[in-house]
């Protein structure tokens, strides 16, 4: 199955799209957008996009082949997520993936990327309790992968690690709301910050992360109204996943939105393809051709 065209995805009459190197670029009000001007997306590009009211598109990738395809579309940010623990390694949670494994995935992605900002998740255990260990881990990620930034989960409890990493010159993306590395602490993947006390704590954490120097914050599975409130109070861009439309950008796991993984179907997920069915059909066709003797044909033989 090909890509599913979603309602409202056509270009408005006030905008015109031009094709550059196979990627649609939008000119708004006669001026080329910040995203389309960027030959290489940086943290400053994302800040300019927020100021300009342009939405930021972010997806995960974990290997060279898919990262190359994602980057070629004009995506703004590629996250080498610790969700590789789930979709690549088959673990139930993100907790088991190691720093060495994250570095391997990030190296593969960075080799493929020419335009997008590459952000690498710091895995569980590399920053939570020791800011010195956090800095050493972040330095390893930057030096060994060539990535452009790291991402950490948490607010005030990891602030010392965030500050130390930023003070060393490494860009940091924050992550608040549902923090999957803390799943055993909370015991559920349900929506976070529904109650006033937790919502205020999230707002305060977001402001602390901004003041510490984070260039962006991911909000995962929090009420849309809260995400809108916090986003409007920050000068740095916010990226939502299950946090409504008023964040400055959105992120999804690539394997989920392409329909490669079907067992995970949260409310916030929109599938743009059904590659599980496509792949299944292709492989069954191959098996049938091999068994019937029709593959390889004379033209496919030397």
pLDDT tens, position by position, 15-71: 333 333 344 444 444 568 998 898 999 999 999 999 999 999 999 999 999 999 999
C-alpha span between 230 and 278 (Å, rounded): 40
pLDDT of residue 22: 41
pTM of the full structure: 0.88
pLDDT of residue 41: 98
Q: Can you spell out the DSSP letters for 146-179?
A: --SEEE--BSGGGHHHHHHHHHTT--EEEEEES-
The catalytic position among 220, 263, 276, 277 is: 220
Domain ranges of the chain: 55-257
Residue 118 has pLDDT above 50, yes or no: yes
pLDDT of residue 257: 97
Q: Render pLDDT for 248-267 as a digit per residue (tens, 0 to 9).
A: 999 999 999 999 998 888 99
Q: Render pLDDT for 149-201 as a digit per residue (tens, 0 to 9).
A: 999 999 999 999 999 999 999 999 999 999 988 877 777 678 889 899 999 99
Residue 98 has pLDDT above 90, yes or no: yes
Other C-beta atoms closer than 10 Å to the C-beta of 203 total 18
Cα angle 241, 175, 119; round to 5: 90
Report the top-level CATH class of 55-257: alpha beta
263 catalytic residue (yes or no): no
User: If we measure between CA atoms, which residue out of 165, 163, 89, 56 comes closest to residue 120?
Assistant: 165
C-alpha span between 238 and 216 (Å, rounded): 6
C-alpha span between 214 and 171 (Å, rounded): 7
């Amino acid at each position: 199955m090909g890509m599913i065209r979603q309602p409202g995805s056509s270009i408005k009459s006030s905008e015109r799209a031009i094709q550059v190197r196979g990627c649609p670029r939008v000119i708004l009000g006669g001026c080329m957008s910040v995203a389309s001007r960027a030959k290489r997306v940086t943290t400053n590009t994302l800040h300019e996009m927020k100021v300009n009211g342009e939405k930021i598109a972010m997806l995960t990738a974990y290997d060279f082949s898919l990262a190359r395809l994602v980057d070629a579309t004009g995506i703004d940010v590629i996250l080498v997520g610790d969700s590789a623990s789930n979709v690549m390694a088959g673990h139930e949670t993100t907790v088991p993936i190691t720093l060495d494994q994250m570095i391997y995935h990030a190296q593969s992605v960075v080799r493929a990327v020419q335009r997008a900002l590459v952000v690498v998740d710091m895995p569980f255990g590399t920053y939570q309790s020791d800011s010195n260990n956090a800095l050493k881990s972040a330095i390893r990620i930057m030096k060994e992968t060539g990535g452009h930034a790291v991402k950490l989960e948490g607010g005030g409890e990891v602030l010392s690690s965030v500050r130390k990493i930023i003070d060393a010159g490494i860009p940091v993306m924050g992550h608040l709301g549902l923090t999957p590395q803390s799943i055993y602490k909370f015991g559920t993947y349900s929506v976070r910050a529904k109650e006033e006390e937790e919502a205020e704590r999230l707002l305060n954490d977001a402001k602390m992360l901004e003041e510490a120097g984070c260039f962006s914050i991911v909000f995962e599975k929090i009420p849309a109204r809260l995400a809108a409130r916090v986003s409007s109070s920050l000068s740095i861009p916010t990226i939502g996943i299950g946090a409504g439309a008023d964040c400055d950008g959105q992120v999804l796991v690539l394997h989920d939105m392409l329909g490669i993984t079907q067992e995970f179907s949260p409310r916030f997920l929109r599938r743009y393809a059904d590659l599980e069915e496509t792949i299944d059909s292709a492989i069954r066709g191959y098996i049938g051709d091999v068994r019937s003797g029709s593959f390889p044909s004379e033209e496919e033989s030397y």
